[in-house]
A and B are shown apart, each in its own frame.
Chain A
Amino acid sequence: MIGKLREFWNGRILIIARGGQLARFVNEGIRDGVVFYKTQKSERGLRAQVQIKDFAKLRRAARKTHTRVHILSKYGWPFIAARWWRRKSLLTGILVIGIALVSLSQMILSISVTGNTTISSQEVFDSAEKLGLKTWIWQSEVDLPQVSKALLEEFPDAAWIGIDQQGTHIEIKVVQKIRPQVTGEAGNLVASKAGLIQELIVIQGTPLVHEGQLVKEGQVLIQAPYYVQQPPGAIPKPDANAKPKETVPKAAPAAKGFARARVWYSAEAAVPLVEDRVEESGQTAKGWGIKFGSRVIMVTTPESPFPFADQEVKNHTWTLGRNWHFPVEIVSINYQELRTVHIERTQDEARLVAEELAGAEVHKKVSPGANILEEKVRSIPQSNGEERIRVEVETYEDLAVYPNS
């Protein structure tokens, strides 16, 4: 192996020598320091391999013994290198393309914004650019989690902003806050939920409710200062304002303030005392096969080994580029055994399960970050053999939000 490699590295020339004194030719060559490899005599002459540097030394021996030496073929790295050297421009081209590919793949080439409804994509792009996230910069230069955090602070209407990187593409995923649909209330603060106002702090605008008042969802809490928003003589007609309004008007001052209120949430869950349920037994089996067109030939486990099973089918395709798919696919099927479980619960057990379910459901509704004041669990008597539990949660939170107009 090493010998072969050295042979390749040094380069060999396969020669054929013709003449009457071939043995003497070899002897003379050896005297001049030539090393012959794989020397063989045939009716056409003497074939041998010599190293490149030895080839020139053969000339004296050939002249002395009247031997004609021809090159049959050349083998080895020096010849390949010479060939490539002649194609320098091609080589540089390949190198340039390689460098360009590598460096371009290290950059951010495109940015998209998805999931935004009222926030304009351009605004997100602009803010992102200010935070250092733009196209044609190195990926390592941006701290994406930092940017998403900063973006979230900049857009009060976004509940969550995530930045997803797929190669050179950056996707800014925006999840907007769901606000009560109240038309024509832009700039006003409205109640996001029904609740009992406990504390009302007005920074700007006119309060329309008072502490201790029960408000409905969507009810205006604080009205935007009108006289500033619409100076005399420049009152726009409501019909002319057809284009979608921004959630938070930037030009005109919006109402500002807090409305902390007590809010009640509740959820119910019922759990039967006797139940037949289908669930996974934990037994699994795997099989794989070959798919050609619409035909599937299973190689292992052709049939589900379980009487009842869920099956998860995965196709593994080879794709070339975007559009070409290898016609043969590998299919792997994961069988998961299902079994029917008969459950009998005592009243207490059923209650516990129902309480857990209802609790989980109610906590999904509670706005994140709300102060939970009280949690009540109530059992609702039922006659149909199930336990119904109602969980009530009372929170203290800020209700004032800008509505979607």
Chain B
Amino acid sequence: MFDKLSKNVGEVLDFPPDVAGNGPKITIIGRQEILVENYLEIIEFTEEEIHLNTTEGEICLAGKEFILKTILATELRIGGYLTSLTYLGGSEAR
């Protein structure tokens, strides 16, 4: 209810979606650094693959030599070599 309201208000007031929504914000700098904000939890991670749960569904990051530089409650800083970023399933938020 509140989520929907804030989203609509955000749309009316032209807020950028990262301010209005609570979905993940993913910043990729080159291929070496990925910053994921607003994730829910880590599902699985290895050196080649990282699965994250978000409100928008599951994010799958694939690449090489992944290292989680900093893990905070809402922010995840990943270093490594990124090859792909995929959303899996999880369309229940729509």
Number of B residues near A (Cβ < 8 Å) is: 15
Is A30 touching B67 in the complex (CB atoms < 8 A)?
Answer: no
Q: Is the CB of A39 within 8 A of B43?
A: no
Residues of B within 8 A of A23 (CB): 42-45
| Set B42, B70, B73: member contacting A37, Cβ < 8 A | B70
Is A92 engaged at the interface, CB distance under 8 Å to the other chain?
Answer: no
User: Is B31 in contact with chain A by the CB < 8 A criterion?
Assistant: no
Instruction: Scan A28-45; emit 1 where CB is below 8 A from any B CB, else 0.
Output: 001101011111111000
Given contacts A23-B42, A26-B42, contact A38 B67 (CB under 8 A): yes
Rounded to whole Å, the gap between the CB of A51 and the closest CB of chain B is 12
Q: 1/0 contact trace for A6-39 toward B, CB 8 Å?
A: 0000000000000000010011001101011111
CB of B47 closer than 8 Å to a CB of A: yes
Interface size class of A (residues with CB under 8 A): 10 to 19
- A251 and B94 CA atoms in complex are apart in Å by 120
User: How far is A40 from B77 in the complex, measured between Cα atoms in Å?
Assistant: 12
User: Considering the chains assembled together, what is the distance between the CA atoms of A404 and B92 in angstroms?
Assistant: 119
What's the least CB distance linking B67 to chain A, in Å?
A: 5
B62 to chain A, nearest CB (A): 14
Q: Which of A33, A40, A48 contacts B47 (CB 8 A)?
A: A40
Q: At the interface, is chain B mostly helix, strand, loop or mixed?
A: strand
Asked if B68 and A30 make an inter-chain contact with CB atoms under 8 angstroms apart, the answer reads no
Given contacts A41-B46, A41-B47, A42-B47, is CB(A27)–CB(B41) below 8 Å? yes
Chain B residues in 8 Å Cβ range of A38: 67-69
The answer to the question of B72 belonging to the interface, with a C-beta cut-off of 8 Å to chain A, is yes
Q: Return 29 A-B CB contacts under 8 Å, by A number.
A: A23-B42, A23-B43, A23-B44, A23-B45, A26-B42, A26-B71, A27-B42, A30-B41, A30-B71, A30-B72, A30-B73, A31-B73, A33-B73, A35-B70, A35-B71, A35-B72, A36-B70, A36-B71, A37-B71, A38-B68, A38-B69, A39-B45, A39-B67, A39-B68, A40-B47, A40-B66, A40-B67, A40-B68, A48-B68
| A interface residues with partner B (beta carbon < 8 Å) | 23, 26-27, 30-31, 33, 35-42, 48
9 interchain residue pairs of minimum CB distance = A39-B68, A36-B71, A27-B41, A40-B67, A23-B42, A23-B44, A41-B46, A30-B73, A26-B42
